[in-house]
Amino acid sequence: MPDNSDCIDVNVALGPRSYHISVVSDRFDQFAETLESWLNHNPAFRNTVAEGNKSALIITDENLATLHASKVEKSLKTRGWKWETAVIEPGEKSKSLAVISDLYDRLVAMKADRQTIVIAVGGGVIGDAAGFVAATYVRGLPFVQVPTSLLAHVDSSVGGKVGVNHPQAKNLIGAFYQPLGVFIDTSTLETLPDRDYRSGLAEVVKYGVILDARFFQYLEQNIDGLNQRSAEVLRKVIARSCELKAEVVEQDEHERTGLRAILNYGHTFAHAFEALCGYGELMHGEAVSIGMIYASYLAEKLNLISHQETERQVHLLQALGLPTLLPEGTQLSNDDIIDRMKLDKKTVGGQLRFVLPTCLGRVEVFKEIPEAQVREVLDELKRSVSSDDFQI
């Protein structure tokens, strides 16, 4: 586990694209100083501060402009930076080429050059959109992530995926573009709605299952701290989650070896549930929480893990206020679920593939899972929905 200090630094080792993730609490006043430190230690930008080329475009949304972006602005002001702030609408509709074009116009108007920093202050949508702007304007501007949701802290801000949506598909247009650095302040979670916060916790639990059994145990031992949003516990949990994702990204930065597929534990079921329930009915993390249990039970069916290992996941997720079964009354047919799963990006030649645990702390990708066994899982867990306890 990361150390107990008030600032935990995580290194993402990607050669010339390496960067640091700074995990702090109530330290927005240090943002500009941290940014300058990253610039000074980066060979491509080390003269930026010395030559006085301190300009930035902050990209945020209407919900966060006053709440968090203003703190970034205040810090920049104390260090003599010049900046402009572009405020876009919250939600997926802002991940469009029309919105991106407007942001290009802002950069043109402010005479941005390759020393101008793009600063994303927000959740995953802001990070994706701002990162895409940075990756494509004059073929690349330095880019800093200031994620404000737990899901963005531990997932979307790490790994370099940026992009926008196409009318026919989500995230169809994009790039791999690593940031200059990621500044995570846990104080942003104090104002995060409860459901959004708990949705992010599902991805945290996922890291323990797929990569680190000791981390999973730490989560079990710190349920109260997580539920109370303890700054000390959150710093450790966020930093370790980032470390674990970084380890995977370092080995498969551009998704060419297949290793990054392990990050999709629970997602084959989850994406089907999200789509069929109607996007918004289940939050992504809620669907992932349910999907992990369905995947774990499938692993039991294949004699990969014990029922006790599934139960530990159930108990932890439930203790964190997350669902582990589809809501009672959900009417989803097995045929519809299977058909939707066949659209998953891990499916090859119509054959279902799943990321499944072989023990807590390790998962593998399994090909050609018999459809009949998947149907058994769906049927048996469907019968469990109406019971008070998770009993199989």
pLDDT at 187: 97
- Mean per-residue pLDDT, 140-146: 97
Residue 127 is labelled as binding a ligand? yes
- Mean per-residue pLDDT, 121-132: 97
**pLDDT at residue 383 is higher than 80:** no
Same domain, 319 and 255: yes
**pLDDT at residue 196 is higher than 70:** yes
In a domain, 313, yes or no: yes
Same domain, 106 and 211: no
Same domain, 302 and 233: yes
User: Could you tell me the pTM of the whole model?
Assistant: 0.93
Same domain, 181 and 289: no
- Mean per-residue pLDDT, 160-174: 88
The least confident of 59-63, 212-216, 325-329, 362-366 is 325-329
The residue among 166, 191, 216 that closes a domain is 191
In a domain, 73, yes or no: yes
pLDDT at 2: 54
What's the rounded Cα separation, in Å, for the pair 284 and 271? 8
The domain containing residue 177 runs over which residues? 8-191
Report the DSSP beta bridge partners of residue 118.
57, 143
In a domain, 335, yes or no: yes
pLDDT at 350: 67
**pLDDT at residue 79 is higher than 60:** yes
**pLDDT at residue 389 is higher than 50:** no
Contacts of 116 (CB under 8 A, 6+ apart): 55, 56, 57, 107, 110, 141, 142
pLDDT at 382: 81
pLDDT at 1: 56
- Mean per-residue pLDDT, 52-76: 96
> Of the spans 41-45, 72-76, 259-263, which averages the highest pLDDT?
72-76
The residue among 131, 156, 191 that closes a domain is 191
Give the model's confidence band at 345: pLDDT under 50 very low, under 70 low, under 90 confident, else very high.
Answer: low
CA distances from 392 to 3, 252, 329, 347 (A): 39, 37, 19, 28
The least confident of 37-46, 172-181, 340-349 is 340-349
In a domain, 216, yes or no: yes
Residue 267 is labelled as binding a ligand? yes
What percentage of the chain carries pLDDT values higher than 70? 94
Q: How many domains does the chain have?
A: 2
Same domain, 58 and 204: no
Just list the catalytic residues.
139, 161, 203, 245, 255, 260, 264, 267, 271, 284
In a domain, 390, yes or no: no
Residue 358 is labelled as binding a ligand? no
281-337: pLDDT as tens digits: 899 999 999 999 999 999 999 999 999 999 999 999 999 999 999 988 788 899 999
Same domain, 150 and 290: no
Same domain, 143 and 249: no
Compute the CA torsion angle 46, 50, 55, 59 (nearest 10 deg): 40
Same domain, 117 and 239: no
Same domain, 200 and 249: yes
For the chain, the average pLDDT equals 92
**Would you say 100 and 132 are in contact if contact means Cβ atoms under 8 Å apart?**
yes
pLDDT at 44: 86
Residue 71 is labelled as binding a ligand? no
More confident residue, 129 or 168: 129
Same domain, 255 and 284: yes
In a domain, 2, yes or no: no
In a domain, 389, yes or no: no
What's the rounded Cα separation, in Å, for the pair 214 and 249? 21
Give the model's confidence band at 392: pLDDT under 50 very low, under 70 low, under 90 confident, else very high.
Answer: very low
Same domain, 202 and 165: no
pLDDT at 331: 82
Same domain, 267 and 341: yes
In a domain, 392, yes or no: no
Give the model's confidence band at 343: pLDDT under 50 very low, under 70 low, under 90 confident, else very high.
Answer: confident
> Of the spans 164-168, 337-341, 361-365, which averages the highest pLDDT?
361-365
CATH at 351: 1.20.1090.10
CATH at 149: 3.40.50.1970
The residue among 142, 162, 191 that closes a domain is 191
Residue 125 is labelled as binding a ligand? yes
**Would you say 238 and 23 are in contact if contact means Cβ atoms under 8 Å apart?**
yes
pLDDT at 52: 83
